[in-house]
Amino acid sequence: MALVILRRLAQALITVAVVLTLVFLLFSVIPGNYVSSLMAEKRGVDPAVAARIAASLHLNDPTPLRLWHYFVDLLHGNLGVSFSTQQPVTEMLSGRIFASVRLALAAISFAIVTGLPLGYLAASRQGRWVDGVAMVFAVSGLSVPAFWFGLLAMYVFSLQLGLLPTFGYGGGDLAHLVMPALTLGIAPMALLARTTRAAVLETRNADFIRTARSKGMSEGRLVRKHLARNAFVLILTMIGLQFGAMLGGSVVIESLFAWPGVGSLLIQSVGLRDIPVVQGCILVIVLFFLAVNTLVDIAYLIIDPRIRYK
């Protein structure tokens, strides 16, 4: 197990390096840079001043050199300073990470708590009307864009019923968390419901289950012992993917609900071409993803002993 974790760490390191390099390179070839975003904002930055700003931010250095400096700084734990706010990137990120993770946790909890039972229910009533209703419900979750759901939730819970605040972070209270979490969680919920249904049906027909059934094991025990365990491999994969991608996938929802997360910072910084912040956000999103999926991989080992990592 220790070896597995060590390998995962090495892999994670490489992934992080590759992603950061990739994004860095992407942003050095696309049109526009920080100075052009400044120019979009105001009148006549004196060309000399613009050049000086560009020079002080090393925008004109060759890309490999900038990349090298970035990684050297990174190795010293220095994520750089934002071009626009002049604040250290770590400082800008620290508050946002907590808000983002909180939102993601709430969303995935909602998705698991509702998606799993729904999918299981559908599988155990395969082909019946319950199945149909559950799946149409699940598909609705997948076929309406998040911003649409968010607006609808606002309309119902805030404007019509007056139950929840429309947007904002509040003091970190629960009331402000509910709507963004539901909105973010609805697509993963639907996906989980469908994956669960498929996984349960798949494993139910697998050889070993039929063997167990023919040996006279009761349905209840079958579910608890084999079915759940085997279906969980698929379900866990889906949970890991969904949860891991949430930090980067909540951009629209964060903007809609004025939620102070990493995603909205990322989009804002892309618009400004504030590269250190873009890189910082990507780093957080990637690390979160890797952490979640390493946990999922470890969970595989525990749940399904047939999986072995060499």
Partner 1 sequence: MKRTQDHHRRHGITRRSFFSGAGALGAAAALTNGTALSALLPTPARAAEAAPMPGGTMHLAAPYGSALKSLDPHATWRSQDMVVSKAFHRSLYSWDTSKNAPAPDLAASVTAEADGMTHTYKLHDNAYFHNGRQVVADDVIWSFTRVMDPDKGFPGAALVANIEGADDYAKGKAKTISGLKKIDDLSFQIKMKNYTDPGLLFFDGVTSILPKEEVAKPDFLTHPVGCGPFSFSQHVAGSSISGKKFDKYYKPGKPYADGVHFVITGDYSALDMAFRSGELDATVLSASAYALYKNDAKLSKGLVEVHELFTRHMGMNLKMKPFDDEKVRQAINYAIDRDLIIDKLIKGKAFKAVSWLPSSSIAFDETRKPYPFDVDKAKELMKASAYPDGAEVTIWATNGTNGTGVAQAITPYLAAIGLKVTLKVVESSVLSDALHSGTAQAWLYSSGTGPDPIAALRDFDSRVTRAGGNTTGFSDPAYDKMLDDAAGEVDPDKRRKLTMQADGYIFDKAPVWFFNTNKAVVATQPWIHNVGGNVTEAAILEVDDMWLGKDAPGRS
Partner 2 sequence: MLRQLRRPNLAVGGGIVVLLIIIAVFAPLIAPHDPIHDANLMYAGEPPSTAFWLGTDDQGRDIFSRIVYGARIALTVGLLVEMMNAAIGIALGLSAGYFGGWWDEFVQGLTNVMLAVPTIVFALALMAVMGPGIPSLLVALGLTDWAYSCRISRAQVLSMKSSPFIQAARTMGYGPGHIMLRELLPNIAGPLIVVATMGVGSAIMAEASLSFLGLGVVPPAPSWGSMLAGAREQLIVAPWIAVFPGLAIFVTVLGFNLLGDGLRDLLDPQGRSRR
Should residue 267 be labelled a site residue for partner 1 when binding is judged by CB under 8 A? Answer: yes
Task: Say if CB 33 and CB 273 are below 8 A apart.
Answer: yes
Residue 275 tokens read as 């590269």
Site for partner 1 in 25-44 (CB under 8 A): 31-32, 36-44
CA proximity to 92, closest of 280, 294, 298:
280
The correct pick among 46, 77, 136, 308 for binding partner 1 (CB under 8 A) is 46
Nearer Cβ to partner 1 (6/55): 55
What is the nearest approach in angstroms of partner 2 to the Cβ of residue 214? 12
End-to-end Cα spacing for the chain: 10
Tell me how crowded residue 244 is: count the other CB atoms within 10 A of its CB. Answer: 23
Q: Which is nearer to partner 2, 67 or 245 (CB)?
A: 245
Question: Most distant CA pair in the chain: distance in Å?
Answer: 85
User: What 3-state DSSP class applies to 136?
Assistant: helix
Q: How far is the CB of 289 from partner 1 (least distance, A)?
A: 21
x/- string (CB under 8 A) for partner 2, residues 32-51? Answer: x-------------------
Stretch that binds partner 1, among 105-113, 224-232, 271-279, 289-297 (CB under 8 A): 271-279
- Interface with partner 2 includes 244 (CB under 8 A)? yes
Cβ partners under 8 Å of residue 192, min gap 6: 111, 112, 115, 116, 119, 235, 238, 239, 242
Report if residue 121 touches partner 2, rule: CB under 8 A.
no
Which value, to the nearest 10 degrees, does the dihedral of the CA atoms of residues 133, 136, 138, 140 take?
-140
Site string for partner 2, 255-284 (x = CB under 8 A): --------x--xx--x-----------x--
Residue with Cβ nearer partner 2 (92 or 282): 282
Pick one of 5, 6, 9, 26: the residue that binds partner 2 (CB under 8 A): 26
Residue from 64, 95, 117, 145 binding partner 2 (CB under 8 A): 145
CA-atom Rg of the chain in angstroms:
24
Residue of the chain from 9, 30, 113, 163 that contacts partner 2 (CB under 8 A): 30
Q: Which is nearer to partner 1, 58 or 221 (CB)?
A: 58
- Note the helical H segments in the chain: 2-29, 34-39, 47-56, 63-75, 89-124, 129-143, 146-153, 174-204, 207-214, 219-222, 228-244, 246-249, 251-256, 262-272, 275-303
Stretch that binds partner 2, among 20-28, 56-64, 100-108, 109-117 (CB under 8 A): 20-28
78 lies in the binding site for partner 2 (CB under 8 A): no
Which window, 3-11, 102-110, 160-168, 204-212, contacts partner 1 (CB under 8 A)? 160-168
